[in-house]
Chains A and B, each alone.
Chain A
Amino acid sequence: MNISERFFGRASIVMLAVGFIVVAALTGATVWLTLRASDQADWVSHTMEVEAKINDISALIERAESARRGYLITGQPADAAAARRTTVMLHAAATELQGMVTDNPVEVSRAAKLAALIDSRIARITRSLEGDVAAARRDFGTGDQTVLAAIGDLTGAMTSEETSLQRARSAAADWSVRTLLVVTVAAAIGILALGLGSVWLVRNYFQALRRSRQELEEVNQGLEEAVQERTADVLQANAEIQRFAYVVSHDLRAPLVNIMGFTSEIEAGLGDVVAALDAAAAQAPDLDLAAARQVVDEDWPEAIGFIRTSSEKMDRLINAILRLSREGRRTFTAERLRIGEVVEAIVDGMRHQIEERGITVRVEPLPDIMSDRLAIEQIFGNLVDNAVKYLDDSRPGEIAVRGFDRGRRVEFEVEDNGRGIAERDRERVFDLFRRAGAQDRPGEGIGLAHVRTLVRRLGGTILLSSELGRGTTFRILMPKTMPRGLQE
């Protein structure tokens, strides 16, 4: 599954939030349930204390009764004292019990009744101990059983009440503990699930990242190969064109030597023909030699003149092609070039012309590259020279040279505010022997063709944007380091 960055961001925030909520809820529940359980445990032990107190009271009653009975039988003052001590304890226990059961109204009234019954019992026992043993003996046994039975009933009711209370409270405490366990286990499962979810999410996200990085690398690799193949193709084609240009220009020269040579021979022979005509005219004045004279005096010299100027022009063009092909076959050597210095040197070389015509040349900071010095000098030399040459004389000339670092490539711009190049000429100006606009400046139409050949050989491209009458910008994109294939 592919995970988008957005989905990953959202999902991780949701998971984090859910995790926080679960942990917070778990903490709250734990605290609450723990407090509740300990509270209920307290109540259970309280209930047990109450039961124990009730049992104490029953036992104390038995002890008081038996001490009273002992006194009545023996008449010993020690027995009476024991009975009195017991009744004091009994009274205290009854009062304590009343204090202990304040949480339960039913038990409160029972405890009050019990205390009253006990107090009446204590009063009766106390009366029996006052010294008149005979009267006490007579009194013993009357109505005692009913009161004792009532006390027994009350303590029994209270005990069973407390027992059921204890059971209920124990159950509640158990529930709290069990609930706490369940909540903890559930929360643990939830956190575990969240954790697993997060791990899954992160793993998938990283896998997706790795995959896309791999794809990117593959694409890059492919691009690199494509570029290398393309460069090799271009270099191959370039080399073929160079060879072709060399052979053609060379082979064109040989016939040209003949054309020019034999034209000169004809011209040289023309003098003899003129002399012969003169001699003929002197010997035979009747002959009509006007047509022949016209030919040797005007037509042939004119024809020879045309042949000569044409062949001289052809010679210049062939020389230009030869020069280009020789440049093209030159082996490039890469070296570190401070383009800023190279361009400054070119501008300095033209300083005289620039100052005389009041031209502003701005060379902005330019990135350094690894390339062939001569080729780069020729490229910038031609571009700056063109910019100066084709300025519009009606306004002050402005030329700017700029450079930009584009990662593995660099971009250079040579901008002028000259006369511009019409749209139909924008491709043509890069062709050999083609020039744009008014043919009022010297030149053979070689410069830009040469520049484009050099830029391509360096593995770059050259583009131009221009507006007629406003100016032209040449833009060169080339590798920061010259491709290896060009070096030896």
Chain B
Amino acid sequence: MTQAVTIVMIEDDEGHARLIERNIRRAGIYNTIRHFVDGGSALKFLFEESEGLLAQSPALVLLDLNLPDMSGVDILARVKGDERLKRTPVVVLTTTDDKTEIQHCYDLGCNVYITKPVNYDSFATAIRQLGLFLSVIQVPEVEA
């Protein structure tokens, strides 16, 4: 993954966000991580702000589904329904392992769905592997 790619992390739990960030860094990924704790500010960043995502570098979204103000599924639908953003990879990283939820997310165009393991070793391993995965994937350029 090129240095320019911004990781947009939408995660309401500060502790989770911190653990995810630490383990991604441990995997050797040093891209900018923009953290949002609620769906509203994340959507605002993605779609509205003049210096928002669209105006900047290509991005990758790390999305938690259980947000205080809306469901992560709605954000996924907005991103995948937008002409300019639909190619942006979205990694759903959440505690839900409900089959219908997983299906629904892939139907909406989610690229990777990862269930957060409760066991920390597994959690750390999963996030590190995600980091390794991020280090090799190609992210499309922003279309002006």
B90-121, CB < 8 A from A? 95-96, 98, 116, 118-121
Given contacts A250-B95, A253-B95, A326-B98, contact A260 B120 (CB under 8 A): yes
Residues in chain B near residue A256, CB distance under 8 A: 118
- Of all chain B residues, the one with the shortest Cβ separation from A315 is B118
The residue from A250, A255, A260 contacting B96, defined by CB atoms under 8 A apart: A250
Q: What is the CA–CA distance of A255 and B12 in the complex, to the nearest angstrom?
A: 11
> Is A262 in contact with B15, judged by CB distance below 8 angstroms?
yes
Inter-chain CA distance A96–B120, complex, in Å, is 149
| CB of B124 closer than 8 Å to a CB of A | yes
A258 x B13 contact (CB < 8 A)? yes
Chain A contact-residue range equals 10 to 19
A233 lies within 8 A of chain B by Cβ? no
Instruction: Say yes or no: B124 contacts A264, CB within 8 Å.
Output: yes
Q: How far is the CA of A262 from the CA of B124 in the complex (A)?
A: 11
Q: Which of B1-54 contact A (CB under 8 A)?
A: 13, 15-16, 19, 22
- Nearest opposing residue in chain B for A250, CB measure: B95
Distance A33 CA – B16 CA, assembled complex (angstroms): 119
A134 neighbours in B (Cβ, 8 Å)? none
Chain A residues near B66: list those with CB within 8 A. 250-251, 254
How far apart sit A258 and B116, CA to CA, in the bound complex (Å)?
11
- Number of B residues near A (Cβ < 8 Å) is 16
Other-chain contact of A261, B15, B95, B96, B98 (Cβ < 8 Å):
B15
| Cβ-defined contact, A262 with B95, below 8 A | no
Minimal Cβ-Cβ distance residue in B for A326 = B98
For residue A344, give the distance in angstroms from its CB to the closest CB of chain B.
31
Report how far A258 CA is from B95 CA in the complex, Å.
12
Residues of A within 8 A of B123 (CB): 257, 260-261
Decide: B118 and A257 in contact? CB cutoff 8 A: yes
Give, as a whole number of angstroms, the nearest-CB distance from B24 to chain A: 14
A39-53 toward B: CB 8 Å interface, digit per residue (1/0)? 000000000000000
Among B15, B22, B118, B121: residue with most chain A CB under 10 A: B118
B32 CB to nearest A CB, Å:
23
Separation of A263 and B95 alpha carbons in the complex (Å) = 19
* Given known contacts A258-B19, A262-B15, A262-B19, A315 and B96 CB-to-CB distance under 8 angstroms: no
Chain A residue numbers with a CB within 8 Å of B96 are 250
Closest residue of chain A to B99, judged by CB? A326
Chain A window 224-256, contacts with chain B (Cβ cutoff 8 Å), 1 for yes, 0 for no: 000000000000000000000000001101111
Give min CB distance, A272 to chain B, whole Å.
Answer: 15
Residues of chain B lying within 8 A (CB to CB) of residue A265: 19, 22
CA distance A253 to B66 in the complex (A): 11
Bound: A257/B121 CA distance, A:
10
Residues in chain B near residue A315, CB distance under 8 A: 118-119
When chains A and B are docked, how far (Å) is the Cα of A254 from the Cα of B65?
A: 12
Instruction: Find out whether the CB atom of A264 lies under 8 angstroms from the CB atom of B121.
Output: yes
Return chain A residues, CB-CB under 8 Å to B120: 257, 260-261, 263-264
Q: Chain A, 315-341, contact with B by CB distance < 8 Å: what is the 0/1 string?
A: 100100000001000000000000000
- Min CB distance A456 to B, Å, is 23
Complex interface: chain A residues within 8 A of B118 (CB):
253, 256-257, 260, 315, 318
**B125, chain A: closest CB distance, angstroms:** 11
Smallest Cβ distance from B128 to chain A, in angstroms?
13
B16 touches which of A250, A251, A258, A264 (Cβ 8 Å): A258
Q: Which residues of B contact A250 (CB under 8 A)?
A: 66, 95-96
Kindly report which residue of chain A lies nearest to residue B98, judged by CB atoms: A326
Report chain B residues within 8 Å CB of A318: 118
A325 (CB) vs chain B CBs: closest residue? B98
Using an 8 Å CB-CB cutoff, how does the interface string of A413-445 with B read, 1 for contact, 0 for none? 000000000000000000000000000000000
Residue of B nearest to A267 (CB): B120
Which residues of A come within 8 Å of B, CB atoms?
250-251, 253-258, 260-265, 312, 315, 318, 326
Known: A256-B118, A257-B120, A265-B19. 11 other contacts (CB 8 A): A250-B66, A253-B95, A254-B16, A257-B13, A257-B116, A258-B13, A258-B16, A260-B120, A261-B15, A261-B123, A264-B120
CB pairs A–B below 8 angstroms (14 shown): A250-B66, A251-B66, A253-B95, A253-B118, A255-B15, A257-B13, A257-B118, A258-B16, A260-B123, A261-B16, A261-B120, A261-B123, A264-B124, A315-B119
Q: Which 3 A-B pairs have the closest CB atoms?
A: A258-B15, A264-B120, A260-B120
